[in-house]
Amino acid sequence: MRTRTFLVVIPLVLLMAVSLVAQRGGRGGRGASAEPAGPVPRLASGRPDLSGHWTNPYTPDMARGAVDPATREPLMFARKGDALPDAKAPASGGARTYDLPYTEWGVRQWENYDPVNDGDYTGNCLPFGMSRSINSPHGLQIVHGQDALAILFEQNTWFHWVPLDPAFAWPEDLPESWNGISRGHWEGDTLVVETTRFNGYTKLDTAGHPHSRQLTLVNRFTRLDSNTMEHTVTVTDPRAYTRPWMNVRTWRIKPSTDVIMEYSCDENNLQGIVDGTIKLWTPPEDIDE
């Protein structure tokens, strides 16, 4: 009896703890730099240089800490916190609530997300998507030049390239994709990265908060000193949410002894798909509804 209680309670307690730690901007001492903070490093142009090996806070649930983008106050909306008795069970246990300002389509997606029975696309080692990659727990490397910035995610060894040259144009007929396409521009010393053209197959976070193909994700990066960067991410998706909402996070430079490493998800997940412990992903049929 005690063992059973132990095994049921732990997932809830720990996932909450991980989420809370992540929302406070770091995983304890492992993310802290050993070097004392110095001034913001600059490119030759004078713009802040965002290069570095960063601890981006693990954020499995973006609804926790969702704020109004205009005021940064906790997001308020009708039905906030209401129970959703018809919702499928989350993988972490507990029950889903009305935790973001959903449209009818959005809440339907939230209620029906069923990772326990349907699996999750990430189990197939498919791209997490821009939002969930930035939420991931393993750190990332930013390589920043005058005309472009590359984000190298340790999570599954993915990259995302962000052109900064105003003259650059993505082809108009480029297909929608898992991670979307981005453009960056400066607003003072803040780099604003706008990402669109998503295929709609991903979720915003581990909890499974939905988004549609209409998503515009805006990530803003403001380097505060050599060790610290403020990061905000704003979700605007009129199909899924009635209004934009935002997360505010603090990134920290990793110690120089911590190097970015390869991460091959397929190494053992492939066997899980073959033997049926991980469900094979198929594209959702109602993506355009």
Partner 1 sequence: MARKAWFRLAVGAAWLVALAPLGAHHSISAEFDTSKPVTFTGTVVKVEWTNPHIYTHIETTDAEGKTVVYRVEGGPPNSLYRQGWRKDTLKAGDTVTVEGVRAKIPTSMNIGVATITTEAGERIFGTAGRGGRGR
Residues that bind partner 1 in the complex, under the rule CB under 8 A: 2-4, 6-11, 13-15, 17-18, 29-30, 58, 60, 91-93, 115-117, 119-120, 122-123, 125, 136-138, 154, 203, 206-208, 255, 257-259, 261, 263-265, 267-269, 272, 275-279
State the SS3 of 40-94: CCECCCCCECCCEEEECCCCCCCCCCCECCCCCCECCCCCCCCECCCCCCCCCCC
Residue type, 256: S
Between 71 and 257, whose beta carbon lies closer to partner 1? 257
- Rounded least distance, CB 209 to partner 1, Å: 11
Rounded to whole angstroms, the Cα distance separating 61 from 18 reads 10
Rounded to whole angstroms, the Cα distance separating 37 from 30 reads 16
- Rounded least distance, CB 190 to partner 1, Å: 28
Between 67 and 265, whose beta carbon lies closer to partner 1? 265
- Rounded least distance, CB 237 to partner 1, Å: 20
- Rounded least distance, CB 66 to partner 1, Å: 19
Between 6 and 187, whose beta carbon lies closer to partner 1? 6
SS3 at position 143: strand
> What CA dihedral angle connects 274, 278, 279 and 281, to 10 degrees?
-90
- Rounded least distance, CB 227 to partner 1, Å: 16
Question: Are residues 204 and 132 in contact, defined by beta-carbon separation less than 8 angstroms?
Answer: yes
Between 173 and 267, whose beta carbon lies closer to partner 1? 267
- Rounded least distance, CB 35 to partner 1, Å: 14
- Rounded least distance, CB 257 to partner 1, Å: 5
Between 88 and 223, whose beta carbon lies closer to partner 1? 88
* Token pair belonging to 73: 């106050």
Between 10 and 287, whose beta carbon lies closer to partner 1? 10
Rounded to whole angstroms, the Cα distance separating 94 from 13 reads 10
Mark 138-177 as b/e (b = at least 16 C-beta within 10 Å): ebbbbebeeeebebbbbbbebebebbbeeeeeeeeeeeee
